[in-house]
């Protein structure tokens, strides 16, 4: 097994997701919080999607799409952009929590 620090983000995600019980989101969080990677964007993170929905004022069904589309502007700084979107949620700028129905989108 290669040292995770020496692999690209995608290669590290592939290595980690080969371990039973570790999915893409978990691997991406590991890259951010354990390896200190500065260019990781977890598109499936609900907090990031909520932050993007608030920031760009789009309907619920557009959360992931707008996050993916706008993320191109943040290339090289995905992790920093993620921290800002998470903080928008933590500081209650995003006013309503998601319902079960919204999570199924």
Instruction: Tell whether 28 and 64 lie within a shared domain.
Output: no
- What's the rounded Cα separation, in Å, for the pair 68 and 103? 17
Say which residue the tokens 């590991």 belong to. Answer: 30
pLDDT of 79-103, one tens digit each? 999 999 999 999 888 876 656 666 5
pLDDT of 32-72, one tens digit each? 999 999 999 999 999 999 999 999 999 888 999 999 999 99
**Is 44 known to be catalytic?**
no
Instruction: Tell whether 16 and 62 lie within a shared domain.
Output: no
Asked if residues 95 and 57 have their Cβ atoms less than 8 Å apart, the reply is: no
Is 92 a domain residue? Answer: yes
- The tally of domains found in the chain comes to 2
Which residues span the domain enclosing 53? Answer: 46-103
Instruction: Tell whether 19 and 50 lie within a shared domain.
Output: no
Instruction: Tell whether 52 and 96 lie within a shared domain.
Output: yes
Among 39, 44, 45, 60, the active-site one is 45
Instruction: Please tell me the pTM assigned to this model.
Output: 0.84
Instruction: Tell whether 52 and 29 lie within a shared domain.
Output: no
Query: 26, 53, 58: which is closest to 42 by C-alpha?
Result: 26
């Amino acid at each position: 097994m290669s040292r995770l620090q020496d692999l690209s983000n995608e290669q590290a995600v592939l290595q980690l997701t080969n371990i039973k019980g570790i999915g893409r989101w978990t691997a991406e969080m590991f890259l951010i919080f354990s390896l200190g990677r500065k260019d990781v964007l977890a598109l499936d993170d609900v907090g990031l999607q909520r932050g993007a929905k608030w920031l760009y004022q789009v309907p619920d069904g557009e959360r992931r799409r707008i996050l993916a589309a706008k993320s191109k502007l943040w290339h090289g700084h995905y992790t920093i952009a993620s921290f800002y979107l998470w903080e928008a949620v933590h500081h209650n700028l995003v006013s309503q929590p998601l319902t079960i129905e919204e999570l199924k989108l």
